[in-house]
Structure 1
Amino acid sequence: MSESVFMGLCRKLGTSQLVAMRRETEDIYHKVVFPSSEYSVLSILSSGSMKEGFRQEGSDFDYMLWFNEYKVIWNLPQSQIYRRESLILANCTNSPPGFALLQPLTPFLAYEFISSSCIRKNSRLYISSSKYKQNMSLRERQYMGGHCFLHGPCTSGMHQGEPFDNAHCFSSDFWPPAASSWIDRCNTWPRPHVVQEIVKKGCHLVAIGHKLGKHEDEEWRISFSFAEQRLVFEFNHSQFLVYGLLKMLSKEIFHKLSGDEGKLLCSYHMKTAVFWVIQQNTISFWCPQNLLECFWVCFKLILKWVYEGVCPNFFIPKNNMFLHNIYGEAQKNLFNNLYELHQKGIAFLLHSPSIRSYITDALYNFRLPICTDERILISEVEFDVELFNEINKNYGEGSEKLLEVIPSVRTVEQLIGSPLTNYQVIMLQREIANKLQTTAFILHKMYMNSTINKLVYVSDKMSCYMVKLAAKFGFISDTLYIAMHYYNTLRYTEALSVIKKIKLKLAQPYIMRHKTVYEDIYTAAVGGEAWSTKMRQAVAMQIKLGKNCYINELIPEIQFSKLNGEQVLNVGDLIMLHMLEILCYIHLDRTRAQTVLNDLQFFVNYNERGVAAERIKDISWQILGICQQATGNHRAALFSYQQSLRQEPFHKIQQATLMRIQSLYSDL
């Protein structure tokens, strides 16, 4: 039965190859989009279940952000290694284990929002965690258009349909004294070099106090996010799947127990349990054959913790993570519910809709052959779909200023000369295309209105070269950026020539479009080829339009979408192709424009092969309306705009749609 559950979890949570791919592509994206150097003002650490390698509903990214100028020390002698940094002394004396008060040692001249977060207590100055997170949340809301909210120590919200949590914190280059016992415990796990790496990275202090402490509004929690992420990366795949199974059961079973007590258990408690079980060497061998035994040991440890009302933090065991919420009647009810599940034995897993079928298959057909060879659990096409969508998901929105692009380009240059995995190479290839396109758009914008003809000529030549070079690195659909460049520089004939070539390629039946693909035809066309070849020849992704947009006709949509917290428009490749073709023909041949408009209307209405994916139909209908309005068919345009309003508001462009409807009414 363990092998059957292992197979099912590999399909639900991913094989070890899929998990590695997700982590490694995300790693390259983070390095390129958030480049760090000795001159960086801000540092960002990404964590959360998405970073760990999960892709289930509810998985998210957590970001920790801190200013490099400020460093937390734990005693005064540690200040000797710093010269220009502003220092903060962490004082744990009067705080519960795992928490500290932060006392600035140098004047905070650089940032007013830090100075305004300080309070005076007993004649000493401290940085208030509650004031600091409120100040930083206000800045986040101004940037995101107000579409985020405070949640614990984080500013939370949605970005391009994905949840995020931003925790503004301070960093310490030193391992906290309260966690020194953890180093001594690491005899068998993790490996010594991992322990050294973790300790060398220090820790962070996030803006939230202990709910039962005397200084809740002033205290800061010691965070080991990097250490925890590194330890999860140390899991073998059976350990990772047990952790994933506990997370699944937390949502599917524990949270649905009678009363609300089950919701008191969170995924962090599950991860902590796996850490302790591995380190205490309770199980000698984690493998597919004893996966359920491994799970059962972790579940019993959680049950024991609930019974005792003590969940010891993995790094600071004296920090009881149940102290403020799992006690008294809630603790008693939660234990009774979990003990009832325990009495059912492993059969209680049948309550999980995600893995029920894999258990029943093994029970009802004990001769059923079970494959635990991950290499054949997922086909080449299935893996390609995951890989290319992961790369596309991690596509950066670009920058508006050339100086902001340069650090990312330098990072790309450094990465090219470093040892990379195959997954990282293909992700870097995509990022190179992104930076080339971004730079091309910035150059065009900088010099398009210049009165010096030579500057205009040189910048146009460089921009054109960059979008052509980007097409050699990116997806087949990236060729459309060349057509966009020609259209925006009024070279309609050249744009149509590019569109004609790309239209033939995008019409091929083997094209993978988002997650839609004909497996047999795709395999026959590019099966066994390198991923870079597949990407250039057989994969079309949505066109992302953000700050740097060649299509002036879509500027209102981009502006309103950004005002509502979204940074890019995601447009289907064939929708964009037909829009460009229509706009070009309006200037050259209006009869042909009408013919192409009919084709666009067909694609939007019938969504053949995922051309106008349901989630982005708001912009697809919007583009159809824009094209209809441009060709003079105002009544049809009005209908399309109304249809756009009826779709899922993925891009939040309703204000732009209403504005266009208003302009139509004035013309009708």
Structure 2
Amino acid sequence: MFQEPDYRENLSLMLSEVLHDIGVNERIVMSRRRGNMLREIMSNIQNRLSGLNVTSYNLGSQSEGTTTIGLHSDIDILVCFHDCNIIQEWSEWEPDKLNYLMIHDENTTPGYCFLQLLRDDEPLPATVIPDEHHITDRRGRILYKNTMINDLLQGADQKHGPSIAEQGQPGLCDRDRVSALPCKSWPQSASGWLQIQGISRWPTQEMRRYAASNGCFVVPTGSKVSEYPELEWRISTTLAERCLMFNQNITQIRCYVLLKMILKSFLNPQDEINISSFMCKTVLLHCIENTESQIWKDNNLYTCLTYCLLELQNCVHNDCCSHFITTENNLMAGQFTAETKHELSKNICDFIQNDRQWLLSIDIDDVGHRLQVKLNRVPHRIYYFPSSLVIYENVKTLAYINIANDVSYQHMLILNFLLNKNIRTIKQSIGKVMTFCDNGTRLEHAAFKLLAPFIFTTYGSILASSSIGENNQVSPQALVWLSAGLNSDISSSRLKLASVFYSTGDMEKADLILRHTEQQYYSYPVLPICYCHHQLPEAVTAEFKRLCNEQSEDCIKHITAFCVRFIQKEINCVPKELQYEMFTHKYEDCWMDWAVVDSLPFLYFLQYKINRHLQRHQDQQQALCKLIRTLETDKNLKHRETALNILGQCMEQENRPQAALKCYMLSLQQRARNNAANYHICKLLSGLLVC
């Protein structure tokens, strides 16, 4: 099968080069994986600090690195709720917990199970139905319905099986969130997989041991061919599957990417999902297991692809694609009508017979055109393609921006948790997270280093607000925490410290911090970061991309400027002009009673106020001009309405009421509802009428 003519080897090498050039190479794959793992860990740090008994896992093509820019892969997030103890043996039962026994019988589809509710005081079946999410079957067993997922669907765009789809904003990936419950033990239905060894001796015993040690999940969805779709739960071995994908070589990854491109271009037209990418992944895994490892090399990519397509055609023909781990689970059961099956089989057959023609027709990432150039079918000058280095730079830059956005997002969730917590509880929560990360892996340390400064700064600011309220001084403990958080990014934590000193009247210290922050801001190609609006920045400079390309993700601390956020517990550290923002409900009630402002406008506003206090009239006017210029020229401002509101108040203090009114009106154009500008306008007009 694998002794093919020279043209196959030549075409394989050309295909490999094309895929390398569009970003399917070791550097970009590892960059994607590291970025997604960091984001996963940061999410779980936030979960721990917030006291949530859940664990999030970033899965799918983005986390595996098996995607390209043109494939537009979404982010699959599995959210595991640890409130339940899912068991397969009675010995796994735990007292005072919500225990469920996995049931496999003649009524369950292979790869699925029922969950039987057990008592929490002794290992016996429960006899009382607790709520509407449970039902008694004809055998008297109390079973957990999988429709509990409906409680989580509020505001979701779509439902795909057990998942909740979140529509991505421009420039951001869609996210599929899947709820799951954990089972500590390996599924009994897949016990045979741990023993079987394929031709290639892959997966290795080490991979199988890892899989067994991580147990499995149950996901709230039933089989398409089930008689009891509301009672079945799908058994998921997704962590084992991620391990298998992380242990593929680059040729195997390229083969999978090509399969997905063929799927999207020719087999699933117009976004129809006849064959899923998971089916393609399963076919690939079976092919890897059943072939010698030396087959999977760049000079054999074309043949490997053909082999996978033949296997896929065989699956469609037989209506059977066995799950790689839980082999009794047929992924294609109930998937196709007879007409669809015939059409798919014909299309795959046509592709295999005319594969070179179809490969040259793939539009995704210009694969077809790139291949034509490689094969000298068309002159190179007809097409301009970004080089692999440019694509690597773009992918890595986007990865770093996404990491920074996730830091902003997790910080936002942490602030939401802190709103109603006392100082002692906050300190205890931070201590638990620090202990967890101290004992963690190198990757967990790296993730904590990115998120921790924002946590420290917030806690320091809360302590400072408390001490300012008592005696108008900043406690030494608050300064320790504020200092520990100074390197969160180029500006936001420093601006908070400056605001603390400003609030106590220590203008000289505040001024010194602001001068240093402004100097640093213009020493680097700084990019404003804010997750509040779920959008990527409009303008990214070449210098910013260069630094991302040359350095680790830690560099985002020196080239990003996060928005500055204050919650009510920090109110004594907030200038009164910004405190008005704390009494509006903002951003569709995502949070309440916060003041949030972009770094650069806040910097110039503080400079204006401090120089006014110090009676430096020229410096005061210079700061005001910088604030105005920033609003006029900075396209990446996310809280423009807030910046306009504080500029309007500066104009009032300059005795320029018409200019102030213009600022407030422009602010309302940015956000008509839940805007402090409404209050400012009323106050301004009231003052003018009195005069």
TM range (shorter): 0.7 to 0.9
Out of 445, 455, 459, which is 1:435 matched to? 455
CA change 1:163–1:439 in 2 (3 A) is: farther
Give 1:655's match in structure 2, choosing from 669, 673, 691.
673
> Partner residue of 2:384?
none
Instruction: Kindly indicate whether residue 318 of structure 2 is the aligned counterpart of residue 308 of structure 1.
Output: yes
**Distance change in 2, residues 1:364/1:483 (3 Å):** farther
The answer as to 2:647 corresponding to 1:627 is: yes
* CA distances 1:511-557 after superposition (whole Å, capped 9, x unpaired): 5667734449977xx9978875x555x42333263757765447459
Amino acid aligned to 2:88: W
Q: Deviations over 1:61-97 (max 9, x none)?
A: 41322134x2222243544xx3443321111211111
Structure 1 unaligned spans of 5+: 369-374, 648-652
1:516 aligns with 2:540: yes
Distance 1:307 1:416, change over 3 A: same
Separation in structure 2 between the aligned mates of residue 316 and residue 521 of structure 1, nearest angstrom:
44
Partner of 2:536: none
Amino acid at match of 2:150: Q
2:607 corresponds in structure 1 to 581
Map 1:264-663 → 2, pairs under 5 A: 264-281=274-291, 284-349=294-359, 350-354=361-365, 355-364=367-376, 377=389, 385=397, 388-395=400-407, 396-397=410-411, 398-399=414-415, 400=418, 401=421, 403=425, 406-407=428-429, 409-416=431-438, 420=442, 426-450=446-470, 453=471, 457=473, 460-472=475-487, 474-475=489-490, 478-489=493-504, 491-508=506-523, 511=526, 516-519=540-543, 534=555, 538-543=558-563, 545=565, 551=574, 552-553=578-579, 555-556=581-582, 559-561=585-587, 563-564=589-590, 572-582=598-608, 584=610, 593=620, 595-607=622-634, 612-613=635-636, 617-632=637-652, 655-657=673-675, 660-661=677-678
1:32 equivalent in alignment to 2:58: no
Residue 154 (structure 1) aligned with residue 163 (structure 2): yes
Q: 1:641 to 1:48 in 2, by over 3 A?
A: farther
Measured in 1, the distance between the counterparts of 2:337 and 2:592 equals 41
Would you say the 8 A contact 1:634–1:664 is kept in 2? no
Quick check: 207-216 or 478-487, which moved more?
A: 478-487
3-state DSSP class of the match of 2:351? helix
Deviation of the 1:303 alpha carbon: 2.8
Judged with a 3 Å threshold, the aligned counterparts in structure 2 of structure 1 residues 448 and 380 are, in CA distance, closer, same or farther, namely farther
Contact 1:619 1:644 (8 Å CA) reproduced: no
Give how far 1:104 is off: 0.6
Task: Look up the SS of the partner of 1:95 in the other structure.
Answer: coil
Q: Offset at 1:503?
A: 0.9
SS at match of 1:284: helix
Q: Which letter maps to 2:186?
A: W
Given that residues 586 and 631 in structure 1 are in contact (C-alpha distance below 8 angstroms), is that contact kept between their aligned partners in structure 2? Answer: no
Q: Distance in 2 between matches of 1:291 and 1:436?
A: 50
CA contact (8 A) 2:397 2:549 kept: no
Write the deviation string for residues 470-502 of structure 1: whole angstroms up to 9, x where unpaired: 224644664333223334555454333211221
Aligned length: 623
Distance change (3 Å), C-alpha of 1:221 and 1:564: same
Distance 2:500 2:49 in 1: 31
Mapping of residues 103-122 of structure 1, within 5 Å:
103-106=116-119, 115-122=131-138
Describe the shift of the 1:108–1:605 C-alpha distance in structure 2 as closer, same or farther (beyond 3 A): farther
CA 581–295 in structure 1, closer or farther in 2 if over 3 Å, else same: farther
Structure 1: which amino acid aligns with 2:207? V
Q: Which amino acid aligns with 1:660?
A: A
Mapped contact 1:546–1:569 kept (Cα < 8 A): yes
Asked whether the 8 Å contact 2:49–2:432 carries over to 1, the reply is no
Normalising to structure 2: TM-score of the pair?
0.77
> Residues 638 and 661 of structure 1 are in contact (CA less than 8 Å); yes or no, is this contact kept in structure 2?
no
Contact 2:282 2:324 in 1 (8 A): yes
Amino acid at match of 1:124: G
Give yes or no for contact 1:483–1:496 (8 Å, CA) kept in 2.
yes
Q: How many Å separate the matches in 1 of 2:592 and 2:379?
A: 52
Provide, for residues 146-175 of structure 1, a one-character-per-residue CA deviation record: whole Å limited to 9, x for no partner: 566654323443688654343333221122
CA distance in 1, matches of 2:121, 2:677: 49
> Counterpart of 1:605 in structure 2: which amino acid?
E
What's the counterpart of residue 132 of structure 1?
148
The residue type equivalent to 1:67 in the other structure is H
Between the aligned partners of 1:331 and 1:568, the Cα distance in structure 2 is: 55
Deviates more, 1:239-248 or 1:86-95: 239-248
Whether the 8 Å contact between 2:664 and 2:681 is mirrored in structure 1 is no
Matched residue of 2:113: which SS? strand
Tell whether the 8 Å contact from 1:99 to 1:221 is kept in structure 2 after alignment. yes
**Superposition deviation, residue 216 in structure 1:** 1.0
Displacement of 1:3 in angstroms is 3.1
CA distance, structure 2, for counterparts of residue 425 and residue 501 of structure 1: 28
Determine the structure 1 residue equivalent to 2:185.
174
Runs of at least 5 residues in structure 2 that lack an aligned partner in the other structure:
1-13, 381-386, 530-538, 686-691
Offset of residue 252 of structure 1:
4.5
8 Å CA contact 1:61–1:165 kept in 2: the answer is yes
* Structure 1, 570-579 or 436-445: larger mean CA deviation: 570-579
> How far apart, CA to CA, are the structure 2 residues paired with 1:153 and 1:16?
28
Q: Deviation at 1:274?
A: 2.2
Q: Retained in 2: the 8 A contact 1:104–1:126?
A: yes
C-alpha RMSD of the superposition: 4.2
The 8 Å contact of residues 598 and 639 in structure 2, kept in 1 or not, is answered as no
Give CA deviations for 1:369-390 in whole Å, capped at 9, x if unaligned.
xxxxxx9946997687356424
Letter in 1 for 2:216: C
CA distance, structure 2, for counterparts of residue 108 and residue 365 of structure 1: 74
Paired residues of 2:162 and 2:178 also in contact (CA < 8 A): yes
Larger radius of gyration: 2
Q: Which moved more, 1:555-564 or 1:263-272?
A: 555-564
Q: Which amino acid aligns with 2:674?
A: A
Q: Which moved more, 1:245-254 or 1:218-227?
A: 245-254
Secondary structure of the 1:656 match is: coil
Contact kept in structure 1, 2:129 and 2:136, CA below 8 Å: no
User: Quick one: structure 1 residues 512 and 357, their matched pair in 2 at CA, closer, same or farther if it must change by over 3 Å?
Assistant: farther
| CA pair 575-559 structure 1, distance change in 2 beyond 3 A | same
What is the one-letter code of the residue matched to 1:439?
Y
Match of 2:86 among 66, 69, 72: 72
